[in-house]
Structure 1
Amino acid sequence: MTEIIDVIGLALILAGALLCLTAAIGLLRFHDVPARLHAATKPQVLGLILIAIAIALMSRSWQVAAFLVPVILIQLATAPLSAHMVGRQAYRNGTLDERSLMVDELAESKETPPAAGG
Structure 2
Amino acid sequence: MTAFLDILSLALILAGAVLCLTAAIGLLRFRDVPSRLHAATKPQVLGFLLIALAVALSLRSWPVVAFLVPVVLIQLATAPLAAHIVGRQAYRNGTIDRPGLVVDDLDESRRTPPGSGG
- Name the TM-score class by shorter chain: over 0.9
Q: For the residues of structure 1 that align with 2:94 and 2:115, how far apart are their CA atoms?
A: 19
Q: Which residue of 1 aligns with 2:17?
A: 17
Q: Which residue of 1 aligns with 2:50?
A: 50
Residues 83-94 of structure 1: pairs in structure 2 closer than 5 A: 83-94=83-94
Residues 1-118 of structure 1: pairs in structure 2 closer than 5 A: 1-118=1-118
**Structure 2 unaligned residues grouped into runs of 5+:** none
Output the amino acid matched with 2:74.
I
**Structure 1 unaligned residues grouped into runs of 5+:** none
Give the deviation of 1:110 after TM superposition: 1.2
Q: For the residues of structure 2 that align with 1:61 and 1:112, how far apart are their CA atoms?
A: 54
Give the deviation of 1:63 after TM superposition: 0.7
Give the deviation of 1:42 after TM superposition: 0.4
Q: For the residues of structure 1 that align with 2:109 and 2:56, how far apart are their CA atoms?
A: 46
TM-score, with normalisation over the residues of structure 2?
A: 0.98
Q: For the residues of structure 2 that align with 1:99 and 1:109, how far apart are their CA atoms?
A: 17
Give the deviation of 1:15 after TM superposition: 0.3
Output the amino acid matched with 1:61.
S
Q: Note the aligned Cα RMSD (angstroms).
A: 0.6
Output the amino acid matched with 1:17.
A
